[in-house]
Amino acid sequence: MGTSLQPTLYLTVNGEKREVPAPDVRATLLDTLRERLGLTGAKKGCDRGECGACTVHLDGRRVLSCLTLAVAAQDADVVTVEGLATDGELHAMQRAFLDHDAFQCGFCTPGQLMSAVACVREGRAGSPDEIREWMSGNLCRCAAYPQITAAIADVAERAAENESTPAESGGGRS
Amino acid sequence: MNTASPAGLRRPDGPAKLTGTARYAADTPAHGAAYAILVGATVPTGRLTALHTEAARGAPGVSAVLTAEDLPDMPLGPLVQPLPMRRSRNGAIDYEGQPIAIVLADGWERARYAAGLVRADYADTRRPVVFDEAPDAVEREPLLSPPDETKGDVAAGLAAAHTVVSATYTTADRHHSPMEPSATYARWDGDRLTVHDSVQSIGLTQLALSTAFGVPFESVRVICPFIGGGFGCKGYVWPHQLLTAAAAKVTGRPVKLALTRTQMFTSCGHQPTTRQTVTLGADARGRLTALRHTSANAASLHGDHAEGATEASTWMYASPAIEVRRRIRHTDRPEPTPMRAPHQGPGMFALESAMDELAYATGIDPVELRLRNEPETDPLTGRPFSSRELRACLLRAADRFGWRDRTPEPRSMRDGDELIGWGMAAATMDTFRFAATARVRVDADGHVRVECGTQEIGTGLPGVIATIASDVLGTDPDAVEVRFGDTELPPAWMTAGSSATMGVGSAVYAAATELKEKLKELGVSGMGFAGSLGAAGFLEAEAGWGPEEGSDLAGRSRTYSMHTYGAVFAEVRVDDELGLVRVARCTAGYAAGRIINPLTARSQMTGGLAWGIGQALLENSRFDGYFGRFVSKNLAGYTVPVNADIPELDVFFVDDHDPHAGPLGAKGIGELGAVGAGAAIANAVFHATGKRLRDVPMGIAEVMAAGAAR
Ligand code: FES
Ligand code: FES
């Protein structure tokens, strides 16, 4: 079975141009990030779209990278959890997760963070119930859910208080 | 919603976890490793007669397809789960999913594709033995308390009782389902083996590997700083771990293996279904005259896994007569294993449901009923309690929840179409304690470093370690560096059984205290002592801690009745037409000794409550008795709580200090939170609907079938 597509796949990840020589056409964006580009922040919890651990941003939208073929991301802007902090400064959402203890084992956390940032940006963080609903695609078996909800509400409230500062203040390309 | 940040030490490992730099087993760079996928048996019984691997071997990028014949004999160390691929087993199939081949290739895509090309022939498959039909049996070597324990005359106690309630309760098969599927990376350098793994005990894994491959203990290094959740399924050693190391050995190349989510349902245990009967007799004032609790759980055909569901019934309530009986039933299924919360998780669902039934039968408030049966000493053994603050948990949690506003009559509280139910239950968990060692070092510039061969599973252990060390040494906890997750560090035992704060924490306490003494001898006080530490430029102390002589194998005290306690109150809302049950809020108070870091301790309890909600309403791994397999081996069919399932949770700790559990006064908390919520919710459903549901989970279908909704 011929599985090699073309000599090189070009991706833009966290603002950087990256090359993947001899890509496998079947490779998901998740496996490509993790195994070819050394970006292991996005996690593989199920590899079939059920858990959200692999969530990344594709042109600013949250997507499941395990259900996205790498070749389909060729012209898009990919942002992973590694791209949230800037110059060693945690993103406001990362800071809120730390302060609210919104993670335990940390395995779902990269996906939760990417979803959380998108959730605020989508305008779906207006109330705790709305946050719970729009964050329910990201499973957390440690069940840090109340803390995740509180962290997002905190970031959303502060963003609303200061309209001039966008929700993703604190840096980051996302 | 209160969005103020809670108090306590932020996780020292937080920034790594939040930026994607925390390294989990599957994140290990391949560095020329082959990617390995296991191929599992598609039948639950019988024999493997032929394995067709030619197509897979010929697929692009495949370096090897290994079968039982290719692997060395691997003797099993303690707590290693049976290795079905061993040649000696003669092709016998013990469970669906049992590994029959390992495919090694360059890249996951190629390994996955080739694994799909392996074909197998089977013979002698038979109808599986299932739980409902299997006879009760006794474990061959009980790991827990004796299967049968009695005190007094239960028959007489029941005969003399004013009120008797007796009912049978069941809990479902459940899967741990940590978000991180197990993964192992193995590399041999001559006779030295290095393994990156996701395990709750790097030391046990090291022992298992050195035993399996006949190499010295020191030649095996296991690295696992972070576990992406385990909840018990990474506690013992499972076949895929040894198979990865074996594959690396026979191919002479590093191997990286990850279980698929589907394989997680057959490869590393589950909490088996239980069937329990509780019979309570009480006098006119609700004081118990007799308590009988029997339990049977599903075990594998060759295994002995027992859920100690009856254990807490020997220490929870004062009764002149107590009888417990624990059985297992051998069935065709993968091996079960302890899961948060083992023993008391399933057991307290039954006992606390029965107590609620007794409360209604006697007309006594459920909180009051429990207070009236509070024992002075351990009801079975007569031993003193090391500390027991259940009464404070009950009273304070009832107060915070607003229990006094409850109208006890079922179906008496309502909000529009929704029936409201308020229920409560007590919680308790056994106290397992394991030995640990730790090293604490201070540099001339005051930098403090703690080293311990434990692993961080999400409980916040690094923060607990930093807090303890800084308390002793008088430093800033944020400045304490904590190293863990490597067998080159001072050894510690499992991160399991809610034991880490006691074991590891006490070892850190001992080492830090010794270091402080050494500093005193040098005439150094305080941490500003540049240059005063001599030529070495640092000072260090290593010390250990373990449970006292005479404790049992699991470190349980034989002098004191030593447990943790709690009280859980839940409000449910039941749609009167749809039968949908939602938990609207919970209040829970816990007594678990001294709490070291309130921030992460609270998270342990809220997480545990969510596990209780899952037990009560969602988690049911359906087992097909005809095909002998779990039906929904994925996270869509096996439903675990999502964010929208978990309401506001009001959690608090009462003052408690257990001077007998260890030098810190602390006990374990990780599993306690997962006890009690199941019964509290079931009891709330009874209050809401007037129907007693004795089988969990209570899905819509079950609620409708019971006629609980209108
Ligand atoms: S790994 Fe992509 S959704 Fe689970
Ligand atoms: S923090 Fe462990 S799964 Fe979410």
Tokens standing for residue A49: 């779209």
List the one residue out of B195, B252, B319 whose CA is nearest residue B63. B252
pLDDT at B496: 78
Residue written as tokens 């998108």?
A118
pLDDT at A40: 98
Does B445 share its domain with B428?
A: no
Mutation pick from B5, B18, B478, B619 vs chain A, by most beta carbons of A within 10 Å, is B18
Which of B545, B576, B604 lies at the terminal end of a domain, its last residue? B545
Does B403 share its domain with B486?
A: no
For A24, which residue in chain B has the nearest alpha carbon?
A: B109
Does B519 share its domain with B450?
A: yes
Which of B496, B523, B545 lies at the terminal end of a domain, its last residue? B545
Does B427 share its domain with B438?
A: no
pLDDT digits (tens, 9 = 90+) for B456-498: 999 999 999 999 999 999 999 998 999 999 999 999 988 877 7
Is the pLDDT at B696 greater than 70? The verdict is yes
* Mean pLDDT of chain B, nearest integer: 93
Does B68 share its domain with B198?
A: yes
Question: Rounded CA gap, A155 and B125, in Å?
Answer: 58
pLDDT digits (tens, 9 = 90+) for B641-675: 999 999 999 999 999 999 999 999 999 998 999 99
Contact B700, B685 (CB under 8 A): no
Q: Which residues contact B644 (CB under 8 A, 6 or more apart)?
A: A129, A132, A133, A136
How sure is the predictor about B526, in pLDDT bands with cuts at 50, 70 and 90? low
Contact B694, B167 (CB under 8 A): yes
Give the whole-number percent of chain B exceeding pLDDT 70: 95
Does B500 share its domain with B415?
A: no
Does B389 share its domain with B259?
A: no
Does B330 share its domain with B391?
A: yes
- Ligand 2 neighbourhood includes A107 CB (under 6 angstroms): yes
Ligand 1 atom 3 nearest Cα:
A49
pLDDT digits (tens, 9 = 90+) for B163-177: 999 999 999 999 999
pLDDT digits (tens, 9 = 90+) for B77-118: 766 666 555 544 578 899 999 999 999 999 999 999 999 999
Ligand 2 atom 4 nearest Cα:
A140
- A92-164 matches A8-83 in CATH topology: no
CATH number for the domain harbouring residue B519: 3.30.365.10
Mutation pick from A91, A99, A104 vs chain B, by most beta carbons of B within 10 Å, is A104
Q: Which residues contact B505 (CB under 8 A, 6 or more apart)?
A: B464, B465, B468, B596, B662, B664, B666
pLDDT at A1: 44
Residue B533 belongs to domain spanning:
434-545
Q: How far is B259 from chain A (nearest CA, A)?
A: 10
- Ligand 2 neighbourhood includes A143 CB (under 6 angstroms): no
Question: Rounded CA gap, A155 and A107, in Å?
Answer: 22
pLDDT digits (tens, 9 = 90+) for A35-74: 999 999 999 999 999 999 999 999 999 999 999 999 999 9
Q: Region A122-126: what's the mean pLDDT?
A: 96
Is the pLDDT at B372 greater than 50? The verdict is yes
Q: Does the residue B317 lie in any domain?
A: yes
How sure is the predictor about A168, in pLDDT bands with cuts at 50, 70 and 90? very low
Does B374 share its domain with B441?
A: no
Q: Does the residue B9 lie in any domain?
A: no
Is the pLDDT at B529 greater than 80? The verdict is no
What pTM value is reported for the model? 0.95
pLDDT at B4: 53
Question: Rounded CA gap, B584 and B562, in Å?
Answer: 33
Q: Does the residue B566 lie in any domain?
A: yes
Q: What angle do CA A19, A23, A24 make, to 5 degrees?
A: 160
List the one residue out of B78, B29, B22 whose CA is nearest residue B227. B22
Binary contact (B14, A98; C-beta < 8 A): yes
Contact B77, B212 (CB under 8 A): yes
pLDDT digits (tens, 9 = 90+) for B327-361: 999 999 999 999 999 999 999 999 999 999 999 99
Q: Does the residue B18 lie in any domain?
A: no
How sure is the predictor about B553, in pLDDT bands with cuts at 50, 70 and 90? confident
- Which of B19, B109, B229 lies nearest to residue A81, judging by beta carbons? B19
Measured from the Cβ of residue B648, the count of other Cβ atoms closer than 10 Å reads 15
Binary contact (B606, A147; C-beta < 8 A): yes
Among this protein's residues, is B357 annotated catalytic? Answer: no
HEC per residue, B561-593? ECEEEEEEEEEEEEECCCCCEEEEEEEEEEECE
Q: How far is A63 from chain B (nearest CA, A)?
A: 17
ipTM of the complex: 0.96
Does B199 share its domain with B69?
A: yes
pLDDT digits (tens, 9 = 90+) for B268-298: 999 999 999 999 999 999 999 999 999 999 9
Q: Which of B180, B389, B456, B671 is catalytic?
A: B671
List the one residue out of A142, A155, A129 whose CA is nearest residue A51. A142
pLDDT at B88: 44
Second CATH level (architecture) for the domain A8-83: Roll (3.10)
Question: Rounded CA gap, B268 and A23, in Å?
Answer: 33
Which ligand has the nearest atom to the CA of B227? 2
Q: Region B424-441: what's the mean pLDDT?
A: 95
Question: Rounded CA gap, B101 and B120, in Å?
Answer: 10
How many structural domains are present in chain B?
Answer: 3
Is the pLDDT at A152 greater than 50? The verdict is yes
Contact A115, A62 (CB under 8 A): yes
Q: Is B31 on the interface with A (CB under 8 A)?
A: no
Binary contact (B460, A104; C-beta < 8 A): yes
User: Phi and psi of B434, rounded to 5°?
Assistant: -125, 150
Binary contact (B228, A145; C-beta < 8 A): no
From residue B380, how far is each of B161, B292, B314, B317 by CA, in Å? 19, 12, 5, 10
> What single DSSP character describes residue B463?
H
From residue A85, how far is each of A39, A78, B498 by CA, in Å? 14, 15, 34
Q: Region B548-555: what's the mean pLDDT?
A: 89
Residues with CB under 6 A from ligand 1: A 44-47, 49-54, 64, 66
Element (H, E) at B144: none
Question: Rounded CA gap, B477 and B454, in Å?
Answer: 19
Count contacts between A and B (CB, < 8 Å). Answer: 208
Q: Measured on CA atoms in the order B275, B141, B78, B72, is the torsion positive or negative?
A: negative
Does B633 share its domain with B677?
A: yes
Q: Does the residue B195 lie in any domain?
A: yes
Which of B247, B265, B283 lies at the terminal end of a domain, its last residue? B265
Contact B264, B43 (CB under 8 A): no
What does CATH list as the number for A92-164? 1.10.150.120
Is the pLDDT at A164 greater than 60? The verdict is no
Q: From ligand 2's centre to the CA of B254, what distance in Å?
A: 29
B407 exposed, middle or buried (CB, 10 Å; 0-12, 13-18, 19+)?
exposed
How sure is the predictor about B705, in pLDDT bands with cuts at 50, 70 and 90? confident
Is the pLDDT at B1 greater than 70? The verdict is no
Q: Does the residue B474 lie in any domain?
A: yes
pLDDT at B588: 98
Question: Rounded CA gap, B93 and A161, in Å?
Answer: 63
Q: From ligand 1's centre to the CA of B115, what distance in Å?
A: 21
Is the pLDDT at B25 greater than 60? The verdict is yes
Residues making up chain B, counted from first to last? 710
pLDDT digits (tens, 9 = 90+) for B388-400: 999 999 999 999 9
Mutation pick from B9, B19, B648 vs chain A, by most beta carbons of A within 10 Å, is B19
Q: Is B315 in a helix, a strand, or coil?
A: coil
pLDDT at B84: 55
Q: Measured on CA atoms in the order B207, B213, B216, B219, is the torsion positive or negative?
A: negative
Does B427 share its domain with B439?
A: no
- Which of A98, A144, A157 lies nearest to residue B3, judging by beta carbons? A157
